Amino acid sequence: MRIFVVVKYQLIMGFSGAVAINQTAIHEAMRLYKIEKRKECFEKLLTLGAWWIERLREDAS
**Tens-binned pLDDT, residue by residue, of the chain (61 aa):** 799 999 999 999 999 899 999 999 999 999 999 999 999 999 999 999 999 999 999 998 8
DSSP-derived letter for residue 34 is T
Could you give the residue ranges of the DSSP H alpha helices within the chain?
2-7, 23-32, 38-60
The total domain count for the chain is 1
Domain range for 16: 2-60
| Dihedral angle sign, alpha carbons of residues 38, 23, 1, 58 | negative
* pLDDT (0 to 100) of residue 60: 85
Q: What is the pTM of this model?
A: 0.87
